[in-house]
Amino acid sequence: MITDGHRVIALKRSFSDLQRLDEVKSELIFYDLEDLDFVKPFTEHGNVDAVIHTATCYGRAGETPTQVFQANTVFPLHLLEAASFFHAETFINTDTFFNTDTILSSYLNIYALSKKHFSDWGRIIVLNDRIRFVNIRLEHLYGPGDNQSKFTYWIVQSCLKNIPDIKLTLGEQSRDFIYIADAVSAYIQILRYARDLKSGFLEFDLGSGEAVTVRNFVEAVHRLTGSNSNLSFGALLYRDNELMESKANIDPLLALGWQCKTGIDKGITKMIEQMR
């Protein structure tokens, strides 16, 4: 976005790790979230054309339902209200592919519900305010610098360490794995064409458009790391109400000129190089 000439304001926690922003952080304007008056970035820097919301709380670290709700619903609602009040044209929200009618495991239910609550608020607010709400249903994101609590990081790390026996489910569930650079390029493409999109509530699926079984992903990691680990498929049971298939419909993104350029092997290899 900076290379497109945008001035970028970033909201963060006072203790946020900015390591992944080392190359560009001197060009960003930062605000710490603690006790932040949400109107301040808008009043201090003039017109804001677009807001991109990517923050999330999965509830994996023992957060209470209230904390998950606060992070995934209340915080972005404050941001959306400020953006709407100061006449920002576009609000880009990051939703989850889990937001279906499927009943999920307990923590995913809380996470998905909190995300759905906010997207529903977006639908209501655009009825009354002149702001474009773009809801991005993000599939299974992976890549270098990923969150260490995620499955993709855990399996690469386990294979690199040659953990003797890696216990897994049968791995028949399929996911649409989307490499981080491809996901970022989709956000940029939507931002570039935002003014050409209709107003109101819009939705895009964001993935590769291909469903890959978890087993195939794990076997690719095992092969590309040259791991000696034993992969014990079937040693673990599926979670209750496991979502067995998810795949993005990327036709609307393709119509904007976006392309997914990173295949599974290439993306995994880049993760391995960074983690080594």
pLDDT digits (tens, 9 = 90+) for 196-214: 998 899 999 999 999 999 9
- CA 28/CA 50 separation, integer angstroms: 15
Residue labelled with tokens 């249903």:
137
Banded pLDDT at 268 (limits 50, 70, 90): very high
Show the tokens assigned to 206.
Answer: 């964001």
Q: Around Cβ 55, how many Cβ atoms within 10 Å?
A: 14
pLDDT digits (tens, 9 = 90+) for 28-62: 999 999 888 999 999 999 889 999 999 998 887 88
- Residue 111: active-site member: yes
Domains of the chain, CATH where assigned? 142-178+208-276 (3.90.25.10)
- CA 24/CA 152 separation, integer angstroms: 26
- CA 236/CA 230 separation, integer angstroms: 14
User: CB–CB of 136/187 below 8 Å?
Assistant: yes
- CA 130/CA 200 separation, integer angstroms: 8
Show the tokens assigned to 5.
Answer: 């000439």
- Stated pTM of the model: 0.91
Instruction: Out of 58, 107, 111, 153, pick the active-site residue.
Output: 111
The conformation of residue 26, written as its DSSP 8-state character, comes to G
**Given phi > 0 = left and psi -120 to 50 = alpha, else beta, which region is 53?**
beta
pLDDT digits (tens, 9 = 90+) for 94-130: 998 864 444 444 445 888 889 999 999 999 998 877 7
